[in-house]
Amino acid sequence: MKVLVDGQLIEYKKEGTGKTILLLHGWGDSLATFDDIAVYLVTRGFEVIRFDFPGFGNSPAPVHTWGVVDYARLTSNVLTKLKITDLYAVIGHSFGGRVIIKSFANNVLKVDKVILIGAAGIKPARSFKKQIFKSIAKVGKVATAVPGLRRLRNNLRAKLYNAAGSTDYLLAGNMQKIFLRTINEDLLPEVASVNVPTLLIWGQEDYETPVKDGITMEQRIKDSRLVVVPETGHFVFKDDFTAIKKELDLFL
C-alpha cells in the first residue's frame, strides 16, 4: 500500500491487530527485511507497521539532501497519517536505529518500548588506513583530471574508494549526498535522550556497527539491556532468528 506524507510517496504495510509495533529498516534495505519478524509478531497478537524510507524499496528518493532529522520527522508524520496514536514499541535496525535516536532527541516519537538492533549513530574514529586511502582518492581525482587520463577516472576512483572501505558511498547512487550527510553526523550526544525501556541486540561478529557501539549505548541509555548473540553479524535477526524470537518474547 502507499500513502502520501510530506510530499513523499511512501510504501507501507500494516498487518495484524493488537498493540502497535513499528519496524524501521536499515540503510539500503527495505520493509521486506522484516518479513520474518512481522509474521512472528502478528502471530503473537500485535499490529505491525513498517514502511520503506524515502530512497529505499518502493519509496522514491527525496528531492533535497535529507538528514537523519528529516527521516525522524517523516516517521512521526507517517504514524499521524495512519492515525496511530498509541505506539507500543519501535524496532530499528542499523539506520533505523539512527532514526529512533534522532526522534527521541527531537521529541517527535512517543513510544513505550524501544528495540535497537545493530543500531548506527556512533561515528567511528577515522582509522589511519582510511585517512591515507582518502588522501590517495583525492590525489587520484586530480590525476585523472589530466587530459588523456580522464577515461580512467571512474575505474580508478572505484578502486580507491573500495580500498578505503567506502563502497557504500559508490552503491548509494542518487542517495550519495544523503549518505554522506548521514554518516558524518555523530549521534552519541543524543543517545541518552532515549528514555524508555530499551533492548539492545547485537551480533557478536557485527563489523558494520561493532559490539562496542552497543556497549556504549547501554551505558548511556538509563533503562537498557544489551544482548550479544554469538556467531552472528550485522543482520543478527536473520542469522539467528530463534534467539531473536526469545528476546522479543521476554521484552515485549
Q: How far apart, in whole angstroms, are the C-alpha atoms of residue 122 and residue 140?
A: 29
Average pLDDT over residues 154-167: 49
Q: What is the pLDDT of residues 8-42, one digit of tens each?
A: 999 999 999 999 999 999 999 999 999 999 999 99
Q: Which of the 8 DSSP states describes residue 145?
A: T
pLDDT at 176 over 50: yes
Average pLDDT over residues 158-169: 48
Q: Is there a contact between 92 and 57 (Cβ–Cβ < 8 Å)?
A: no
The rounded Cα 228 to chain-centroid distance in angstroms is: 18
Average pLDDT over residues 152-166: 50
pLDDT at 130 over 80: no
Q: What is the pLDDT of residues 36-62, one digit of tens each?
A: 999 999 999 999 999 999 999 999 999
CA angle at 192 for the pair 106 and 41, rounded to the nearest 5°: 80
**What is the pLDDT at residue 128?**
44
Q: Is there a contact between 204 and 231 (Cβ–Cβ < 8 Å)?
A: yes
Q: Is there a contact between 13 and 37 (Cβ–Cβ < 8 Å)?
A: no
Model confidence band, residue 1 (pLDDT cutoffs 50, 70, 90): very high
Mean pLDDT is lowest, of 133-137, 179-183, 189-193, 242-246, for 133-137
Q: How far apart, in whole angstroms, are the C-alpha atoms of residue 97 and residue 66?
A: 16
**Residue 135 vs residue 78, higher pLDDT:** 78
Q: Identify the structural domains of the chain with CATH numbers, from first to last.
A: 2-123+186-251 (3.40.50.1820), 128-177 (no CATH)
**What is the pLDDT at residue 174?**
79
Q: Is there a contact between 134 and 127 (Cβ–Cβ < 8 Å)?
A: no
The dihedrals phi and psi of 150, each to the nearest 5 degrees, come to -60, -35
The dihedrals phi and psi of 195, each to the nearest 5 degrees, come to -120, 30
According to DSSP, the residues that pair with 237 across neighbouring strands are none
Mean pLDDT, the chain, as a whole number? Answer: 88
Average pLDDT over residues 198-225: 97
Q: Is there a contact between 23 and 5 (Cβ–Cβ < 8 Å)?
A: no
Helix (H, G, I), strand (E, B) or coil at 94: coil
Closest CA to 167 of 212, 137, 132, 211: 137
Closest CA to 117 of 216, 10, 5, 209: 209
- Residue 64, phi-psi category: left (phi > 0), alpha (psi -120 to 50), beta (remainder): beta
For the entire predicted model, the pTM comes to 0.85
